[in-house]
Copies of this chain bind each other. A is one copy, B any other.
Amino acid sequence: MQGKIITISRQCGSGGHSIGSELAKRLDVPFYDKEIIEIAAKESGFHQKFIEEQEEHMNRSLLFNIARHVAYAGRGSYADYQPLQDQLYFTQVKVVKEIAEKGPGVIVGRCADYILRDRKDVLNVFIHADMAFKKKHCMERGQFSEENMEDMIRRRDKLRAEHYRYYTDRKWGDSINYHLCLDSGVFGIEKCVSMVEDACKGMHPVSQ
């Protein structure tokens, strides 16, 4: 792999973060997940903690934004109005594009597959798994309480799907949006890393 950017979209608990992190180590390229929030915080002036919280509750913010859109529709001041959620999104868009300009790297989440859709040097990957695997993975990482883990995983994935739909008008997890989709539940984390690494080598922009 030479000079490629790998975007990893992932279901909650599928191990997409671990796969991306391990892949970046193997390829000796930068890895970006929460790091994007850090950069966005610096560039926007928003506090990092505040951006993280907004990400956690993106759905509520979206609904709130839609309500405001409706409320503002047709008023003179509307053209200048940009909802907070949009400001955060467009800051991250800028950061993701800057990262891609710098050179090869692995980017997790943030609609990066869509943001970088006009580049020819990007491999888009989606990682998913069955619920049993996702619960086990979250348990190992101490995410969520055991009691309501399944609900939390479903909710997190629902938020991600809605966020993606809102900003890209595409369906999150639909195979046609990615070059490679893997079920980490049947392949395991380690094998997924190797498969993505192998895919990088074999990728050629035939007719993109």
Residues of chain A having any CB pair with chain B under 8 Å: 123, 126, 128-130, 132-133, 136, 171, 173-176, 178-183, 185-188, 191, 194-195, 198-199, 202-208
Which among B176, B181, B206 is the interface contact of A178 at CB below 8 angstroms? B181
- Report copies per complex: 2
**Which label, helix, strand, loop or mixed, suits the secondary structure of the A interface?**
mixed
Which among B173, B178, B191, B205 is the interface contact of A202 at CB below 8 angstroms? B191
Which among B123, B176, B195, B202 is the interface contact of A199 at CB below 8 angstroms? B195
Cα A205 to Cα B203 in complex, Å, equals 28
Q: Taking the nearest CB of chain B, how far is it from the CB of A199, in angstroms?
A: 7
| Residues on B with beta carbons closer than 8 Å to the beta carbon of A128 | 175-176
Let me know if A187 and B175 touch, CB within 8 A. Answer: no
Cα A111 to Cα B136 in complex, Å, equals 30
- Are A179 and B175 also in contact (CB < 8 A) when A191-B202, A194-B202 are? no
Let me know if B126 and A207 touch, CB within 8 A. Answer: no
Let me know if B176 and A179 touch, CB within 8 A. Answer: no
* Closest CB pairs A-B (n = 5): A181-B181, A132-B207, A175-B181, A191-B202, A179-B183
Cα A195 to Cα B198 in complex, Å, equals 8
Q: Taking the nearest CB of chain B, how far is it from the CB of A23, in angstroms?
A: 15
| Residues on B with beta carbons closer than 8 Å to the beta carbon of A126 | 175, 181
Cα A133 to Cα B189 in complex, Å, equals 31
Which among B187, B204, B206, B208 is the interface contact of A179 at CB below 8 angstroms? B187
